[in-house]
């Protein structure tokens, strides 16, 4: 009553609320995002507007269209026949679905019959149809698709202002570094925070755990990528991707004094009409003060995010200074959860069998753990007893991955400043 009858008090209340972040729905919010998506701009099989409609409809707050070595900019026409050829299943044509969703006025075509073409809309054109403050945001990105002597080196960069062209290095590790150096240079020049992450290390058996460890400028890598061809589980000769995380982080902490890697889960989606490389398999949940590209990148650099393929957390407290982690899982009906605390004990780093050991196991929805004196670090993986609804590998269960916790001082290298 007093507030509404006094404009001054109302303004004061609004000012206090804004200062506290209340105006945006709380001091911080969790934002769901996919950092790795392909469209017709490279080798995906749908229009960016159709892909964004899917992700926004599924409750994602941010989406990075990350096509191979291209940004969704400039004039690009595609043959309608070529568009249709990419479809993996029969049924409605890609063009028919696009026209039904966006209408004749929006869809631009030229030519007739076999020569008919459609223009791909740029990110700038489609952004106003999707971006909504606090609800949805496109973050511009690219999959810098590089390689070294036939081994793939793919790095996603998000919040770019310009394209980054892949540049070969003298070694595989220098090739990994070249993307990070280019992203850092652009960040400084354009004044935008740019996050780069190393993708699917086991794809083409491109990257070893030692490579991941020794390129210490690399802060992020994909611990889960939803593409079924990325060899998530490894094979008899190669460790699975989750084990690679422990191998690399153990080398970093035990011998290099460098900061451990943070894990990212993404879709790497290509197929939107049936097919194997589907959207909606893995994502990140980022806690940021508001939904802006800079805030998302900032929060991820601070490790204030987790990865999920179907499990949501209600509470997450990860305290680097104290070496503690506690969280509560948002339990789903009739679903059981197992949390494994995984890490490496001091002095055990040279025995691969003792790297990434299970240090503790919890069942239920509440977990808390503190780093012990004899532990280099720990992290947590939560697994549900329910199958993943869109598995990318045999036997996949719904899961979540929590970032590592460590307390020893580490160096935080900057790309371009190290050898």
| Separation of alpha carbons 407 and 271, rounded Å | 42
Least Å distance, CB 310 to Zn ion, is 21
Q: Which is nearer to Zn ion, 145 or 348 (CB)?
A: 145
Strands (E), 165-320: 195-198, 220-225, 262-266, 283-288, 305-308, 313-319
DSSP-derived 3-state class of residue 161: coil
> Contact between 154 and Zn ion (CB under 5 A)?
yes
C-alpha distance from residue 120 to each of 40, 68, 115 (Å): 8, 15, 16
Q: In this complex, which beta carbon is closest to Zn ion, that of residue 142 or of residue 259?
A: 142
Binding residue for Zn ion (CB under 5 A) from 142, 143, 222, 259? 143
**Does 242 contact Zn ion by CB under 5 A?**
no
Write down the least CB distance from residue 244 to Zn ion, Å: 16
In the complex, least distance from residue 154 CB atom to Zn ion, rounded to whole angstroms = 3
Number of residues that bind Zn ion (CB under 5 A): 4
Stretch that binds Zn ion, among 44-52, 262-270, 304-312, 401-409 (CB under 5 A): 262-270
Residue 264: which residues within 8 A CB-CB, separation 6 or more?
Answer: 35, 197, 220, 221, 222, 223, 224, 284, 307
Structural tokens at position 330: 């948002």
Nearer to Zn ion, 67 or 259 (CB): 67
**Calpha distance 378→356 (Å, rounded):** 8
Which CB, 143 or 217, lies closer to Zn ion?
143
Torsion of CA 47, 51, 56, 62, to 10 degrees: -100
CB of 139 to Zn ion, least distance (A): 16
- Which is nearer to Zn ion, 271 or 287 (by Cβ)? 271
| 61-120 positions binding Zn ion, by CB under 5 A | none
Q: 153 vs 382, which CB is nearer to Zn ion?
A: 153
- C-alpha to C-alpha distance for 251 and 254, rounded to whole angstroms: 5
Give 403's Cβ-side CA count (13 Å radius).
27
Q: Which stretch binds Zn ion (CB under 5 A): 126-134, 147-155, 244-252, 285-293?
A: 147-155
Which 182-241 residues touch Zn ion, going by CB under 5 A?
199
Cβ proximity to Zn ion, 56 vs 154, nearer residue: 154
- Within 326-355, the residues that bind Zn ion by CB under 5 A are none
Cβ-based nearer residue to Zn ion, 246 or 268: 268
- Shortest spacing between CB 162 and Zn ion, in angstroms: 20
Confirm if 298 and 288 have CB atoms less than 8 A apart: yes
State yes or no: residue 375 binds Zn ion (CB under 5 A): no
CA dihedral 342, 346, 348, 354 (to 10 degrees): -10
Kindly state the smallest distance separating residue 357's Cβ from Zn ion, in Å.
31
Please say whether the beta carbons of 119 and 108 come within 8 A.
yes
Q: Are 261 and 397 in contact (CB under 8 A)?
A: no
Least distance in Å: CB of 210 to Zn ion?
21
User: Binding to Zn ion by residue 268, rule CB under 5 A?
Assistant: yes
Q: Which residue is nearest to Zn ion (CB)?
A: 154
**Widest CA span in the chain:** 73
Q: Within 10 Å of residue 256's Cβ, how many Cβ atoms? A: 15
Tokens of 357: 């050991």
Asked if residue 318 binds Zn ion (CB under 5 A), the reply is: no
CB of 73 to Zn ion, least distance (A): 18
The piece of 180-188, 213-221, 266-274, 292-300 that touches Zn ion (CB under 5 A) is: 266-274
Q: Which stretch binds Zn ion (CB under 5 A): 8-16, 96-104, 154-162, 229-237?
A: 154-162
Is 259 within 8 Å of 287 (Cβ atoms)?
Answer: no
Residues that bind Zn ion (CB under 5 A): 143, 154, 199, 268
């Amino acid at each position: 009553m007093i507030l509404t009858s006094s404009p001054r008090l109302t303004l004061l209340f609004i000012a206090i609320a804004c200062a506290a972040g209340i105006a945006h729905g709380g001091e911080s919010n969790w934002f769901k995002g996919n950092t790795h998506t392909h469209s017709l701009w490279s080798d995906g099989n749908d229009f960016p507007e159709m892909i964004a409609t899917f992700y926004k409809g599924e409750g994602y707050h941010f989406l990075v269209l990350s096509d191979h070595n291209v940004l969704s900019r400039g004039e690009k026409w595609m043959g309608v026949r070529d568009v249709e050829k990419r479809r993996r299943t029969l049924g409605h044509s890609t063009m028919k679905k696009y026209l039904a969703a966006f209408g004749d006025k929006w869809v631009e075509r030229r030519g007739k019959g076999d020569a008919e073409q459609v223009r791909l809309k740029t990110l700038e054109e489609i952004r106003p149809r999707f971006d909504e403050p606090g609800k949805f945001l496109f973050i511009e990105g690219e999959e810098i698709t590089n390689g070294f002597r036939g081994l793939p080196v793919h790095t996603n960069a998000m919040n770019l202002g310009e394209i980054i062209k892949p540049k070969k290095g003298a070694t595989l590790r220098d090739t990994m570094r070249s993307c990070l150096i280019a992203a850092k240079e652009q960040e400084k020049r354009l004044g935008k925070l740019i996050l780069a992450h190393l993708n699917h290390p086991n794809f083409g058996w491109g990257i070893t755990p030692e490579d991941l460890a020794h390129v210490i400028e690399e802060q992020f890598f994909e611990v889960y990528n939803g593409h079924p061809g990325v060899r998530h589980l490894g094979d008899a000769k190669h460790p699975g991707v989750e084990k690679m995380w422990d191998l690399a982080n153990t080398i970093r902490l035990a011998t290099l004094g460098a900061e451990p890697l943070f894990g990212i889960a993404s879709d790497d989606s290509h197929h939107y009409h049936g097919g194997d490389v589907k959207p909606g398999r893995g994502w990140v949940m980022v806690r940021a003060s508001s939904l802006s590209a800079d805030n998302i990148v900032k929060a991820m650099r601070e490790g204030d995010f987790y990865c999920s393929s179907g499990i949501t957390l209600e509470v997450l407290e990860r305290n680097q200074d104290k070496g503690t982690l506690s969280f509560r899982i948002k339990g789903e009906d009739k679903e059981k959860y197992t949390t494994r605390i995984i890490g490496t004990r001091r002095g055990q780093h040279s025995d691969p069998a003792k790297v990434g050991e299970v240090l503790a196991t919890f069942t239920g929805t509440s977990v808390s753990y503190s780093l012990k004196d004899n532990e280099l670090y720990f992290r947590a993986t939560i697994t549900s007893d329910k199958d993943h609804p869109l598995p990318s590998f045999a036997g996949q269960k719904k899961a979540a991955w929590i970032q590592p916790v460590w307390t020893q001082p580490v160096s935080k290298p900057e790309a371009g400043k190290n050898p």
